[in-house]
Structure 1
Amino acid sequence: MQPLLLTGYQRTLTRAGIPSPLQAAYTAAAAYMARRERALTLTVRHLAPHELQPHLLAVLAFGCVSDDTADHNPGNTTTVNAWADHTIKALDGSPTTHPVLRALVHTLLVRKTPDHWARIFITRTRDETHFDGFDTDDEFAAYVRSYVHPFLMMSVAVQYPGAADDRQAEEWLPLAEALQRIDFLSDLADDLSQGRLTIPRQDLTDHHLTPCDLAFPTPSPRQVAEVLRLMCRRARTAHEASLACADAAAPTYRRMALAAWDLQGRRLARCETAGLQLLRRAVPVAKTDALRVAVSDAIRQWNSH
């Protein structure tokens, strides 16, 4: 059954010029996003220009499928390498029946977007099966640049015919940092349950903690709460700095950039409120936050006229 968010999506595909033989592939990519990232998909559907919506959802779906393949197969290099090899062959021009890859390849072609961001990202995805956390926050910053930034740039580059140049790409790095800090905070409980430590080990050592202290209920609530507040402060600083990324966006993409920034800020606020509960359960993007973002956008549009 097609998600409610995709009501009328075939009209969107037609308006965007997606050929009929590829519309099923684009619909499958959008449906994947609607299931996995409902609030983000709602934001794209409400705010992104019709001609960009299928392309944005296609590249986002590719990134999410790749990320899920790595996250759901820890240590299973065979499965992850098979997906990476399939992706590279599709980018090289080999036929593929995978709907997300069919949509991705067509999007890169018609948007005149070089595929180097997708190649960098999928190559780095191979390493995700051996993710072992970070010793320091500097290692986290290197992770953002090598893995998260290419993921973000796949969708950002769609807005620039001919792709974003190096200067434009660098301008989006603060948003990549903010998104990942917030994502690690909100998914902390799930990551810990899977044996993934996303808090730098040095931060734990500085507070006289070990990874075992992060089990819920923690035996060291005061020290753990201090570490979580540190993570939240870093995320808040990064989020505030990333607002400038909206100014780097193409005019047709600026509303979407502002909305994405607003949405993640609201998710971060929920993490800040959760405190030690971050060890117990994930903090997803709330549907109510997506609706509030839409209202805020409508107010901005009203005030600008």
Structure 2
Amino acid sequence: MGRWERALDAAGVRETGLRADYGRQREQVTRYRREVAVAAGLLLPERTVPHVMAAAAFMHRTDTLLDSGPFDRRRAAADRWRQEVTTSLAEGRTDDPELRPLLHSVAARPVLRDRVLDYLAAADADLDFTGFATEEDYQRYVDGYSLPGFMVVAALLGPDGDQSAYRAACRTFIDASQRLDFVNDLAEDLAEGRLTVPEDRLARHGVTRADLEQARDLPAVRALLGGLLDEADRTLAEAGAVVDLVPAAHRPMVRCIVGVEALTSAAARADLGGLLHRSASPAKPAALRLLAREYLRARKHRR
């Protein structure tokens, strides 16, 4: 029996059709975030892995609805999806194979229910996004959208019972991670008509939107991007405290999540001009070393 089949057994997924539903969601997560699927399978306790796959697949489907097609179609699709999920959670049943794993995981890990509802309620913050005038606008976006989204999966890794201190630490982490994502995905976002750098930050550095859209590799542009990465790194260093707030069995995965962000930031910093054209990725040798180190820690914990 393979590790995935053992994980399904450990998570109480017995029915053949439901196991197939979970399997399809694992394949979905592997296609769009292979590194997450691999790390979860290697680093997390088997009983946790299927629930993380279900939560990640739900997030991906929701994100896709929010990002695909004309605005009116996206809003209508988001409203239908919100109603379908909310009704399914209230009734405890669904005919949608994409939702059956989520409902099973909510029953097994009740903390997930409110986090799913929080994220659905936050969807309008992304649909209504038009950019940030100030840093305060960015911070409201983190509170209103980024954190609820992150907590869908993060809640499954946190402590049992009261998660208030853990949520606060997750907020620090997602502040760093979202800022890093906005810098790293700058070229892609601009190509889609989204400027994710606050306007007051542009003005402070004497940089215009046109400078970024036309990929002008100017000293001021490099100073802007480097300064944003500095802020992300400082916040990420503070976010390392989140590791001590999760159960010991989940610490290798959480250390890996934080570590990958640090490696991504280093890769972005190494080619600031390149960010005007493409996203940076962590160096593969460093990422593999991080994964191997945390895998050895995870194995020691299981003994």
TM-score normalized by structure 1? 0.89
Q: Residue deviations 1:63-105, cap 9 Å, x none? A: 1221222122352311222222222222222643433422112
For 1:82 and 1:303, how far apart are their aligned partners in 2? 46
* SS of residue in 2 equivalent to 1:105: helix
| Map 1:132-143 → 2, pairs under 5 A | 132-143=130-141
| Residue of structure 2 aligned with 1:238, choices 217, 235, 239 | 235
Q: CA deviation at 1:15?
A: 3.0
For 2:232 and 2:136, how far apart are their aligned partners in 1? 14
* SS of residue in 1 equivalent to 2:99: helix
| Comparing 21-30 and 31-40, the one that deviates more | 21-30
Conserved? CA contact 1:58–1:103, under 8 Å: yes
Q: Is 1:81 aligned to residue 76 of structure 2? A: no
For 1:99 and 1:281, how far apart are their aligned partners in 2? 36
Q: Is 1:32 aligned to residue 59 of structure 2? A: no
Give the letter for the 1:59 counterpart: A
Q: Is 1:226 aligned to residue 211 of structure 2? A: no
Q: Is 1:16 aligned to residue 11 of structure 2? A: yes
Name the structure 1 match of 2:151. Answer: 153
| Residue of structure 1 aligned with 2:61, choices 61, 65, 73 | 65
For 1:8 and 1:302, how far apart are their aligned partners in 2? 14
TM-score normalized by structure 2? 0.89
| Map 1:173-188 → 2, pairs under 5 A | 173-188=171-186
For 1:11 and 1:301, how far apart are their aligned partners in 2? 17
- Residues 77 and 274 (structure 1 numbering): CA distance in 2 closer, same or farther, change over 3 Å? same
For 2:108 and 2:182, how far apart are their aligned partners in 1? 34
Q: Residue deviations 1:211-256, cap 9 Å, x none? A: 11102431x6121111111111111111111100001111221111
For 1:282 and 1:111, how far apart are their aligned partners in 2? 35
| Residue of structure 2 aligned with 1:263, choices 254, 257, 260 | 260
- Residues 244 and 160 (structure 1 numbering): CA distance in 2 closer, same or farther, change over 3 Å? closer
Conserved? CA contact 2:126–2:145, under 8 Å: no
Give the letter for the 1:226 counterpart: A
For 1:170 and 1:40, how far apart are their aligned partners in 2? 23
Give the letter for the 2:293 counterpart: S
| Residue of structure 1 aligned with 2:164, choices 163, 166, 170 | 166
Conserved? CA contact 1:28–1:99, under 8 Å: no
Q: CA deviation at 1:195?
A: 0.5
Conserved? CA contact 2:158–2:246, under 8 Å: no
| Comparing 91-100 and 56-65, the one that deviates more | 91-100
Name the structure 2 match of 1:203. Answer: 201
* SS of residue in 2 equivalent to 1:172: helix
Q: Residue deviations 1:102-126, cap 9 Å, x none? A: 2112111111325222111111113
Give the letter for the 1:78 counterpart: A
Conserved? CA contact 1:178–1:239, under 8 Å: yes
Conserved? CA contact 1:74–1:129, under 8 Å: no
For 2:140 and 2:134, how far apart are their aligned partners in 1? 10
Provide structure 1 residue ranges, at least 5 long, that are not aligned to the other structure.
1-6
Q: CA deviation at 1:131?
A: 1.1
Q: CA deviation at 1:285?
A: 5.4
Name the structure 2 match of 1:131. Answer: 129
For 1:302 and 1:115, how far apart are their aligned partners in 2? 30
Name the structure 2 match of 1:273. Answer: 270
Q: CA deviation at 1:167?
A: 3.0
